[in-house]
Amino acid sequence: MTSASPSPKSPEVSEKSKKYDRQLRLWGDHGQNKLERSQICLINANATGTEILKSLVLPGCGSFVIVDGHRVTQEDIGSNFFLDADSLNKSRAECALRLLSELNADVAGEAIADHPDSLLNTDPKFFNRFTVVIGCHLGERVLTSLSKVLWEHGIPFLHVQTTGMIGWIRIQLNEHTIIESHPDNPKSDLRLDVPFPELVSHMDSIQLVNREDSVKTPWLVLLFKALKAYISQGAQNEKCGDTDSPPERYPFTSKQKAAFKSYLKEFSRSLGLDDSDDSFEEAVKAVNTAVMRTTVPDEVKSILDDPKTSKPESKFWILCAALKEFINDKNGQLPVRGALPDMTADSEKYIKLQNVYRDKASKDANEIFDKACQIMKQSGKQVSSITVEEVRLFCKESHNLRLLRGYPIHEELSSSPNSVLTELAQNMEECDQELMFYIILRAHLRFHNEYGTYPGFDDSETDISRFKTTMLKILNEWNTSVVAREDCIHEICRYGGAEIPSVAAFIGGAAAHEVIKLITNQYVPLDNTFIYNAITSTTRSLKLAADL
């Protein structure tokens, strides 16, 4: 399996992997590679924006561009750690770039002292090169036009805003695919109910007759043997019955498992084992988790049924198309993952067993690899080459695949948020403050569009009445009976659009979290709206969608 003699020197640990050690343990080297290849665009380096970039520059994103046409004000200096006293009246993009670049020598940064709308006018393709675009405190118009461009090009887009005690994150994803979703409780894949031929023949080659054979045997062998005997015994008992459709005899339910457990104990004792033997103890313990029905999870099924598998255009979809073919060939089963849980046993026996699973996983992966190559040839698409390693990872995670399809911001802004309004209307007495703030934030965007400032920035008395007018207009457009709460309106007008550093830190960290999920294609990101209310210390996530 391995080459005869690997180099005897201790593996060298580079400075870089030392620096990133604590995060490599979360997203691995391949996640890190994706991060290091990413190009991030931040529009507006306000407190929230620089907080987001900080948490992306530190872990080593590839490069970033700050687009910001503003000049640094006194308020900026007060709320933004990455603008110092010397930066007053200078370009905010350039000043923030200087201090953010100090965070990590491995990350390249660039500043463009211009507004995003004028960039869109002069160079409509400007934003197409980025892995992710993050906009902070964008006006309604820019938000709409950026949303359209980025949706069209499938570039993930975040709009993030903190206004006083209120934080708002909106993620726009046209389509986002995840191979490593990192489920909380990963399940094992041992195929005890549908053993593959190589596993059957390996198990058949092992003789368990007495204690000598059994005591140092991996529990999986013991379990397999006991299960086989248990099932054939069941078959004996049912012989008189109908043989065409054998009843389910595998112990899947907890009741059946309990019965099987006592059978397993008898079986082990008959081999001369007793309760304190490792293999005995471990086998009994493993019944709950190891004896499982092998199935294709529903979420994976629906991904494979997606029309995109018949006309695959990206690596993910080509792999899915190959996986679909594989499943059709293999009686509906996913490729074997090939990982075995730890078990106390004789090394040699364990290695043999492990190799049975591993070889099968490798064989399955190779089949899928071949199918993928075939599909690529047929489609005539020049997709950047797929490596065997990528296919192996894909196979190992094939039961955890995830697909998200989002809802564009420009559509959100041009329609009425019916689901939110319905929920608010149902319970006006004890209204959900986060939902209330969502509609107020929508009015806030509109206000900025109409007056060019944030409510409360100049004179809060005038602004409160102006804001109420805007609010009424919007609620009228939406044709809703929902009434905006006075106290919430006063609260938002008190801020004048200003940022509180700690709220910016909280929201900045949260947004950076999501950006890393998007870049690495690992973990399931927020879909698609998040509201943080620092007054009550509560949050709400919403999935806004077009009404059907």
Please report how close the Cβ of residue 69 comes to another protein at its closest, in angstroms.
23
In whole angstroms, how close is the CB of 203 to another protein at the nearest point? 19
**Residue 152: partners with Cβ closer than 8 Å, 6 or more residues away:** none
Nearest distance, CB of residue 192 and another protein, angstroms: 16
**Least distance to another protein from the beta carbon of 230, Å?**
21
Query: 133 to each of 128, 150, 160, 435, 532, how far by Cα in Å?
Result: 9, 8, 11, 26, 21
The smaller minimum CB distance to another protein, of residues 13 and 209, is found at 13
The region that residue 427 occupies, defined by phi over 0 for left and psi between -120 and 50 for alpha, beta otherwise, is: beta
Nearer to another protein, 186 or 241 (CB): 186
Residues, the chain: 548
> Is the CB of 123 or the CB of 274 nearer to another protein?
274
Q: Closest CB to another protein among 447 and 523? A: 523
- Report which residue type is found at 165: M
Least distance to another protein, CB of residue 285, Å: 4
Q: How far is the CB of 452 from another protein (least distance, A)?
A: 20
The distance of closest approach from Cβ of residue 111 to another protein in the complex, given in angstroms and rounded to an integer, is 19
Nearer to another protein, 54 or 448 (CB): 54
Nearer to another protein, 317 or 447 (CB): 447
Distances (CA, A) of 515 to 190, 480, 524: 35, 35, 11
Give min distance, CB of 107 to another protein, in A.
12
**How many angstroms separate the CA atoms of 467 and 496, rounded?**
11
- Please tell me the number of Cα atoms within 13 Å of 195 on its side-chain side: 20
- Rounded to a whole number of angstroms, the minimum distance from the CB of residue 324 to another protein is 24
User: What's the CA gap between 47 and 399, in Å, rounded?
Assistant: 40
Q: Find the shortest distance in angstroms from Cβ 309 to another protein.
A: 26
In this complex, which beta carbon is closest to another protein, that of residue 144 or of residue 529?
A: 529
Q: Which residues contact 262 (CB under 8 A, 6 or more apart)?
A: none
Q: Compute and round to an integer the Cα radius of gyration of the chain.
A: 29
Cα separation, 497 vs 457, in Å, equals: 7
Residue 460: how many other CB atoms lie within 10 Å: 15
Q: Name which of 79 and 172 has its Cβ closer to another protein.
A: 79
Q: Which is nearer to another protein, 15 or 242 (CB)?
A: 15
Instruction: Please identify, using beta-carbon distances, which residue of 21 and 248 lies nearer to another protein.
Output: 21
Cα distances (angstroms) measured from residue 162 to each of 9, 269, 385, 498, 507: 52, 66, 42, 8, 7
Nearest distance in Å: CB 536, another protein? 8
Helix H, strand E, coil C: the string for 447-508 is HHHHHCCCCCCCCHHHHHHHHHHHHHHHHHHCCCCCCCCHHHHHHHHHHCCCECHHHHHHHH
Q: CB-wise, 14 or 122, nearer to another protein?
A: 14
Q: Which is nearer to another protein, 227 or 286 (CB)?
A: 286
Which pair of tokens denotes residue 217?
């045997």
126 in Cβ contact with 118 (< 8 Å): no
CA distance 341 to 220: 9
- Residue whose entry in the numeric block shows the structure tokens 């699973």: 357
Query: Cβ neighbours of residue 303 under 8 Å, at least 6 residues apart?
Result: 309, 320, 401, 402, 403
User: Considering the complex, what minimum distance in angstroms separates the CB of residue 516 from another protein?
Assistant: 7
Sign of the torsion formed by the C-alpha atoms of 477, 483, 488 and 494: positive
